[in-house]
Structure formats: structure tokens, C-alpha cells
């Protein structure tokens, strides 16, 4: 049951999104490369 902020609901939605997208990437990037992109390095 979700708490007042809907946390459980949000976590479940996020998990469903991750499961749907997992393995769909077509460009192999390391964790460091992804982090550099998100930091704007």
C-alpha cells in the first residue's frame, strides 16, 4: 500500500519502466561514460 507520498507506487512505476527498457540500448557505454554525459563533461 502506498504511503501518503505515493512512494511505493512511484517505485513500482520506475521498476516497470526499467524492465521495459532493459537491453534495448544499441550503444555500449561504460558507467563512467554515462556519468560523464550526465555531468556534461
> What cell does 1 get?
500500500
Task: From first to last of the 41 residues of the chain, give the pLDDT tens digit.
Answer: 555 666 778 889 999 999 999 989 898 999 999 999 999 86
* Res 9: pLDDT: 85
Measure CA 39 to chain center: 16
Amino acid at each position: 500500500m502506498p504511503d501518503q507520498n505515493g512512494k511505493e507506487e512511484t517505485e513500482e512505476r520506475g521498476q516497470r519502466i526499467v524492465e521495459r527498457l532493459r537491453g534495448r540500448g544499441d550503444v555500449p557505454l561504460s558507467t563512467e561514460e554515462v556519468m560523464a554525459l550526465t555531468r556534461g563533461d
